[in-house]
Amino acid sequence: MYPCSGCLSGDRGIWPAQISYTRRDGLTMTTPVQQKIRDKKRTPGQIADMMKSGEWMTNGTVGGDPTACMEALANRLGDGPSNLRDMEIWNYGKFYPQLRFQEVDPFQKYHCFHDYFFFPWNRKARDDHGVTSWAQWGWTIGSWWHHYRFADGDPKKRGIDWFLNAATPVDHNGFFNWSYGTNNCNIFRESAKRLVVEVREDYPWAEGGRFNTIHIDDVDYWVEVDCEKYAWPQIDEKAMVPTQQEKQIAEHILTIMDDRDVLQLGIGSLPSACVAAMANAGLKDLGIHTEMLNYGLIKLIESGQVTNRYKTLDRGKSVWTFAFPVDTKWYYDTIDRNQHLAVYDADYTNNLNVITRIDNMIAINNCIAIDLLGQQSAGFYKKRPISSTGGYFQFMCFCSQSRGGRGVACMTSRNKEGRSRIVPFLPEGSSVDLPAQFAHYVCTEYGIVNLRGLNGYERTSALISIAHPDDREWLEREAHAHGLLAPHFPVSMKPEEGGARRYPSYKDKRNYKVPANSAVWGYDWDPIQSGK
């Protein structure tokens, strides 16, 4: 499946045992780079043996999940004199299940996970034992904000003791490639005293971009991972079948899409439904600028609908920052040395000053709930962490500020328990992941509405119009009771784009950019667009 790691002529890179050159006298010698690679190799057990009680570590991030070293660490937890205790692990969306920690220390007596994005394995720890701290993330903004206090030019003064992340085998120049987990590596490496690379032969070389590689000089230790023992969880994304509701949502989104749009899609069956709808609509010359490279986007690339020909940044490249290799061979074959893809750090893909410069950006993301003010919750709802904000705020807010851009919040009108996702007010204990003033498009199976520029009465009416029909009377009653609807204000239940109330359609705004800096400079001038 993968090129042999012992083959010098392969594209994958080479292993220390084979790195050498032959002198004229016939003796085989090791170069300085090769010697460093040999000297820095350790086993997972050796890494765990170097750790001390009370140390802090950044446990990689989505797509770069460390595995072998974490299991070795879990095995050292306990009360004995040689055991570890008070270990704090900063966990930024770890998809690979850390079940050994739950077996050894289920109530987190000796360790603590500070999780910034919950996945099912850690939700179980939360529900069964009431452990694992949760904190708001927000990708680049949150990561830099949290980790800036740990960063220092002198590694000995940094606040985090260890940073562990998966990467490809080293190449002949001494570089590892962060592959699926490029996203926050540059942030984390600047805030940790020591860096351990877990080398996986099943990781592809992802073309940059920027900050997608690291040299052996900047690595303290590296560990070889048994990819069969620590195989990635596999999900048959190709077998995902969108529900009828999701198909209807996708059809509504298509009404505000056109050729040459640049896409950001979230995860799940809804993006798959959107991809199918785009294929049926025959959209052409699409572009990609996303955080997660997923099944739907790869299918669009394979279909030929994605050309990136008209992107205003990274023309000809599909830009991404992380991926889950849940179909290991397919993802490997798609990404390895693919010059049509460019992986960047998250501070590029999710950056305000980057996204707002990409014409016709459209972000399509799931949210948990929205209230009649327009406030949106995507990570923590009713006193319970569901996942986290991720890149929700950046893409939903910043895409809608690009020329012709749109941020689309998607959800079924009701959740799995049959309760309305459109509520009068977000309940106590819910995070506001997109403030009301940044709300743009909202879509359910009953329609899509543009909240930008609507007054309070219109916004309330628009949201009620796409709620489940059986919930509308209740929402109207609550809206009147709390002054969100007036009895005689002349507004329809669904203000239409391009309709009688002066709101233009999205196509009328396709060549318009929100003057994000006008509030600062006092006039409608954008230094980013002007190139100054």
Angle CA 120–126–127, to nearest 5: 90
Rounded-to-integer distance, Cα 315 and Cα 311, Å: 5
Amino acid at 88: E
- What the block records as the tokens of 97 is 């299940």
Q: How many CB atoms lie within 10 A of CB 473?
A: 11
Angle CA 397–509–266, to nearest 5: 35
Write out the H or E segment, with its range, that includes residue 335. Answer: helix 328-335
DSSP H stretches of helix in 118-163: 120-129, 139-147
Within 8 A by CB and 6+ apart from 531, the residues are none
Q: Which of 190, 198, 224, 291 is catalytic?
A: 291
Q: How many CB atoms lie within 10 A of CB 24?
A: 5
Amino acid at 197: V
Q: Is 224 a catalytic residue?
A: no
Instruction: Give Cα separations from 48 to 92, 292, 515 (angstroms).
Output: 20, 31, 52
Angle between helices 392-399 and 139-147 (to 10 degrees): 130
Rounded-to-integer distance, Cα 100 and Cα 66, Å: 13
**Residue 65: is it exposed, middle or buried by C-beta count within 10 angstroms (0-12/13-18/19+)?**
buried
CA atoms within 13 A of residue 51's CA, in its CB half-sphere: 33
Rounded-to-integer distance, Cα 262 and Cα 123, Å: 33
Q: Provide the phi-psi class of 382: left if phi over 0, else alpha when psi is between -120 and 50, else beta.
A: left
Angle between helices 269-281 and 295-303 (to 10 degrees): 20
Is residue 332 within 8 A of residue 204, CB to CB? The reply is yes
Within 8 A by CB and 6+ apart from 194, the residues are 155, 161, 162, 163, 220, 221
| Catalytic center residues | 291
